[in-house]
Structure 1
Amino acid sequence: MLEIDGSYGEGGGQILRSAVALSALTGQELRISNIRAKRDRPGLAAQHLAAVRGVASLCDAELSRAEVGSTEITFSPGKVKGGEHRIDVGTAGSVTLVLQACLLASVNAEKATELEVIGGTNVRMSPPADYYSNVLLPLLSRMGMDIKLEIVQRGFYPRGGGRVRAAMAPSAPGPLVLEERGDLVEMGGTSFTQDLPDHVAERMSHAVRKRLLGEELRIRTERASGASPGAGIALYAKFRNTVLGADALGERGVPSEKVGESAARRLWEELDGPGTLDVHAADQLVAYMALAGGPSSFVVREVTEHLRTQMWLVQQFLDVKFEVSKAGRGHRVEVVPTRTSPGR
């Protein structure tokens, strides 16, 4: 049984999600302790438990101590079978963090995987569903992965109620070599509101255009009704070889203009840096790169603690080397698999 210390590195939920996904993918039995030890409220919260149970349902895993508040679980996977699965977080917990675990676990499923996940589509401290649509899935498509995502209903804190559907065909990821961005093709995004006045989305969009003056932007507005009111804006910059993303979420008492300015500033940080991946895509893609049939490489403006932790974790399950070197104002990361099979 593989033992993983959940307090390693950034010590948050990402270790847990990635560990159970890699356990299912490789067939290695897992015990993970000190779950989310570096968070204010250690142990499993609802969204983490939903991710664990979601992956378990994909491979008929045996679980022990998997309950809210638990700081240690064991996970004994069976064969990942794919098929249709419905996962309800039960709160406004992030649907994308559930998908993060389930999609990685499903890479070598026996058949196509169809997921319906209910919870928060746009919540603090997690990637919005739009980021998956605009950035992460297009990058995985460049690796040969066939994943589709539909945002059926948005969900915000505190009630959630958002719904996404994802479909993934089994496929082995190929290498992703991103040494240069290439020419800028398009910049745009979505300014969205739910049960709020129409002018909120327009004010966020206007603030982005004002901050990124001189850039041609394609920002669409989206208005909806749902369980909880909310707003936000998700941006992307598509280049010939890659795509970068940034976003900001509306908060009570924060002017719409500030939300738009925040998203624009975050995108500009990536555009102004040397990265061929933004700092959030990097840590989510290295596990797929480790499964590829050859070396991958990319540049990031910053090697975050999330990325360092993810590289360490992937090496506990897979035969892969990570080489990090300085590259101008950023860092070049090379991912060199030494065995192409995930070990099933």
Structure 2
Amino acid sequence: MVIVKEQQEVVKLAGAQHFRQRLLLATLAGKTLRIDEIRARDSVPGLRDYEASFLRLLEKISNGCIVEINETGTKLRYKPGMLVGGRRLVHECGTGRAIGYFLEPLIVLGLFGKKPLSISLRGITNDNNDPSVDTFRTTTLPLLRQFGVPVEDLELKIVMRGAPPLGGGEVHLKVPIVHPSLRAVHWMDVGMVKRVRGVAYSTRVSPQMANRMVDSVRGVLNRLIPDVYVFTDHYSGQESGKSPGYGISLVAETTTGCLISAEGAATHPKADGEENMEKIGPVLPEDIGLQAVTQLLEEVKQGGVIDSTHQGLLFLLSALCPEDVSKFRVGKLSPYAIQTLRHIKEFLGVQFHIEPDPASGTILLTCVGSGYRNLLRKMS
């Protein structure tokens, strides 16, 4: 990948990889972004429906943003506007990707808006491609507490569940603005796991599906830790969305307050023009519960203060901190996290010092924040 800067602060990139992350960082940095060759050689070239939906979402929460797309959808020019936030906004996420695809950038952008953000998102709430709304509620939002965000003003409410392929779910998100910036973190002590909590949900199927997933999880965890409680959350009627589905989300809490999450959900094959159809995963509730608990134990084994799903978000928030030193411990870096580090260096000019810790098998990362401040907030 070759990155070229022009005098007008235009960042030129190629390809459709990490599309959402590039737009997020371009918006925060205030740099015009140009992306060429978006799936130019595919049988179905150009932007996907969910990527166009994300562009419409950026237009809703900002003022003055300019989006230019060519006829085939293979070239995009994006000039960010001023983040204004807003209340009682509504966005249809579609069924190409789950709501979790939109939530992560929305939470970060909402922190630096002119006004607090309140928005309803409609679509798929749980699948195996993106973090579920349960994981965002139990793990992602509490992570912001480490950076000085008032958690009492953060809210993610699940109104209706929506399973793939038709979705039909809805969530309400509230994000406060920061005054005037985030807080640098020093997060090194992982601690020991003291309890595990979780949510097993089912929509338009028998409530026994959720109970069978809970039994599968407890069959493994009860031999390792005594404090295990998994709630069952069954939806019926209009609140159950348009498709049957079931899944489970688990969170392990350590003695130092670290939250490690893992999840699993019943999957369905897709044929929406993607390059590769989604493989059919485990469909038995027992298999899904076993998959989730195995993933949770693997994440705990990695030894980081957060799981691999949240590495990219942790890096981004650290780069947006004041010009102070942030230091934290993570497990093995995921490919998405590695690409996040590269984009942060390009858009924000923040470079991380990476040092492996052979004693624990973890990785220590240190950075000096970019000094990013919310200059748009209303002055009291």
Normalised by the size of structure 1, how large is the TM-score? 0.90
What is the deviation of 1:73? 1.4
Matched residue type, 2:243: S
2:135 to 127, 131, 137: 131
Give structure 2 stretches of 5+ with no counterpart: 1-8, 269-281
Matched residue type, 2:100: T
Q: Give 1:2's aligned residue.
A: 10
Matched residue type, 1:106: G
What is the deviation of 1:208? 0.6
What is the deviation of 1:25? 2.3
Q: Give 1:326's aligned residue.
A: 356
Q: What is the CA–CA distance in structure 2 between the aligned matches of 1:33 and 1:205, rounded to whole Å?
A: 47
What is the deviation of 1:28? 1.8
Matched residue type, 1:170: I
Q: Give 1:72's aligned residue.
A: 75
Q: How does 1:329-340 map to 2 (within 5 A)?
A: 329-340=361-372
Q: Is the 8 A contact 2:113 2:374 kept in 1?
A: no
| Distance change in 2, residues 1:338/1:227 (3 Å) | closer
What is the deviation of 1:177? 2.1
Matched residue type, 1:26: A
Q: Confirm or deny that 1:196 pairs with 2:205.
A: yes
Q: Give 1:159's aligned residue.
A: 166
| Distance change in 2, residues 1:182/1:266 (3 Å) | same
Q: Confirm or deny that 1:217 pairs with 2:225.
A: no
Matched residue type, 2:369: P
| Distance change in 2, residues 1:214/1:66 (3 Å) | farther
Q: Is the 8 A contact 2:97 2:130 kept in 1?
A: no
Q: Confirm or deny that 1:268 pairs with 2:297.
A: yes
Q: Give 2:245's aligned residue.
A: 230
Aligned-residue CA RMSD (Å): 2.4
Decide which moves more: 327-336 or 299-308. Answer: 327-336
Q: Give 1:245's aligned residue.
A: 261
Q: Confirm or deny that 1:208 pairs with 2:217.
A: yes
Q: Give 1:287's aligned residue.
A: 316
Q: Quick one: percent identity of the two aligned structures?
A: 25
What is the deviation of 1:256? 0.9
Q: What is the CA–CA distance in structure 2 between the aligned matches of 1:66 and 1:94, rounded to whole Å?
A: 26
Q: How many residues align?
A: 338
Q: Confirm or deny that 1:95 pairs with 2:104.
A: no
SS of equivalent residue, structure 1 residue 106? helix
The Cα offsets for residues 120-172 of structure 1, whole Å up to 9 and x where unpaired, read as 11122111111111111101122122432111111111111111111111112
The Cα offsets for residues 232-273 of structure 1, whole Å up to 9 and x where unpaired, read as 000001122321100011246721111000000000001222
Matched residue type, 2:290: E
| Distance change in 2, residues 1:110/1:184 (3 Å) | same
Q: Is the 8 A contact 1:193 1:222 kept in 2?
A: yes
Q: Is the 8 A contact 2:302 2:332 kept in 1?
A: no
SS of equivalent residue, structure 1 residue 321? coil
Q: Is the 8 A contact 1:191 1:233 kept in 2?
A: yes
SS of equivalent residue, structure 2 residue 234? strand
The Cα offsets for residues 84-132 of structure 1, whole Å up to 9 and x where unpaired, read as 3211023252111112222222222111011211111112211111111
Q: Is the 8 A contact 1:198 1:223 kept in 2?
A: yes
Q: What is the CA–CA distance in structure 2 between the aligned matches of 1:6 and 1:286, rounded to whole Å?
A: 23
Q: Confirm or deny that 1:111 pairs with 2:115.
A: yes
Normalised by the size of structure 2, how large is the TM-score? 0.82
Q: What is the CA–CA distance in structure 1 between the aligned matches of 2:261 and 2:12, rounded to whole Å?
A: 31
Matched residue type, 1:3: V
Q: Give 1:173's aligned residue.
A: 182
Q: What is the CA–CA distance in structure 2 between the aligned matches of 1:295 and 1:36, rounded to whole Å?
A: 39
SS of equivalent residue, structure 1 residue 124? coil
Q: Is the 8 A contact 2:321 2:371 kept in 1?
A: no
| Distance change in 2, residues 1:25/1:66 (3 Å) | farther
Q: Give 1:81's aligned residue.
A: 84
Q: What is the CA–CA distance in structure 2 between the aligned matches of 1:209 and 1:37, rounded to whole Å?
A: 48
Q: Confirm or deny that 1:259 pairs with 2:288.
A: yes
Matched residue type, 1:51: F
Decide which moves more: 110-119 or 173-182. Answer: 173-182
Q: Is the 8 A contact 1:47 1:94 kept in 2?
A: no
SS of equivalent residue, structure 2 residue 303? coil
Q: Is the 8 A contact 2:184 2:369 kept in 1?
A: no
SS of equivalent residue, structure 1 residue 288? helix
Larger radius of gyration: 2
Q: Give 2:4's aligned residue.
A: none
Q: What is the CA–CA distance in structure 1 between the aligned matches of 2:201 and 2:39, rounded to whole Å?
A: 31
Q: Is the 8 A contact 2:196 2:250 kept in 1?
A: yes
Give structure 1 stretches of 5+ with no counterpart: none
